[in-house]
Copies of this chain bind each other. A is one copy, B any other.
Amino acid sequence: MIDKRVSSVDEAIHGLFDGATLMVSGFGGAGVPVELIKALDRSKITDLNIVINAVRFLEMHAPGLFQDHRVKSLVCSAFRGRDRDPSHYERQWQAGELAIDLSPQGSFSERIRAGGAGIPAFFTPTAAGTQLAEGKEVREFNGRQCILETAIKGDFAFLRAAEADRFGNLRFRGTQSNFGPIMAMASKVAVVEVASFSDKPLEADQIHLSGVFIDRILVASETGV
């Protein structure tokens, strides 16, 4: 019988390796897989390429990642630290120790979706004619300049949802979903932490993400998050 639950957070992140590309969901605190990020922080995994919309949430929950120089590159749409003084990651970037692929949030999302949907590249008008188009192929469609953006894929994805069934079918609350569905689609191993587990399969027409995209379910501890 299919049952994608794991029994511990260590099992949830098992197999994540040095040099992996890891995608992490969350926006403004909603849908942030806090338990998984904390477990990553505690691990010794290094040389990571992390795909995350806003880098500050990574530092918030996994300060050790940057303190110990375990991130080698980032794909994001918001790299700026919150405080006036530069953050750890801003300093590492200035020192040339951290490579950044800054994408407009819509191109960031679409590149991840493309990764999950088997589309290797697409043209978009977003960022055409700006600094972020530098080095990218430009082509005109219907009189409009567009640039070629390429897909992003991950080895692992971390996301958070409200509820899962044993198939990995998910329901999200509020704005929890954000980058979670596309990151799960785009990654080889998608790990979701959920607030609750449904013993009955979720209703077929009320599922926000099909369990086909989910590999492991961590039912968050009551006190954990």
Using A173-B205, A205-B171, A206-B206 as known contacts, say yes or no to A114 and B122 having CB atoms under 8 A apart.
yes
Question: Is the CB–CB distance between A123 and B122 below 8 Å?
Answer: yes
Q: Which residues of B contact A173 (CB under 8 A)?
A: 205
| Main secondary structure on A side of the interface with B | mixed
Interface residues of A (CB under 8 A from B): 110, 114, 117-125, 141-142, 144, 146, 150, 171-174, 205-206, 208
Question: Is the CB–CB distance between A119 and B120 below 8 Å?
Answer: no
Partner of A123, one of B121, B144, B172, B205: B121
Question: Is the CB–CB distance between A125 and B114 below 8 Å?
Answer: no
Q: Which residues of B contact A121 (CB under 8 A)?
A: 122-123, 141, 146
- Name 10 extra pairs, CB < 8 A, besides A110-B117, A119-B123: A118-B124, A119-B124, A120-B124, A120-B125, A120-B144, A121-B122, A121-B141, A122-B122, A141-B150, A206-B206
- In Å, the complex CA distance between A118 and B123 comes to 9
Q: Which residues of B contact A172 (CB under 8 A)?
A: 205
Question: Is the CB–CB distance between B124 and A123 below 8 Å?
Answer: no
The 4 A-B pairs at the shortest CB distance, nearest first, are namely A120-B141, A122-B122, A121-B123, A119-B122
- Nearest chain B CB to A125 CB, angstrom units: 7
Sampled A-B contacts (14; CB under 8 Å): A114-B122, A118-B125, A119-B123, A119-B124, A120-B123, A120-B125, A120-B142, A120-B144, A121-B122, A121-B123, A122-B123, A173-B205, A174-B205, A205-B208
- Nearest chain B CB to A194 CB, angstrom units: 15
- Nearest chain B CB to A209 CB, angstrom units: 12
Using A171-B205, A173-B205 as known contacts, say yes or no to A146 and B120 having CB atoms under 8 A apart.
yes
Q: Which residues of B contact A120 (CB under 8 A)?
A: 123-125, 141-142, 144, 146
Q: Which residues of B contact A141 (CB under 8 A)?
A: 120-121, 150
Q: Which residues of B contact A114 (CB under 8 A)?
A: 122
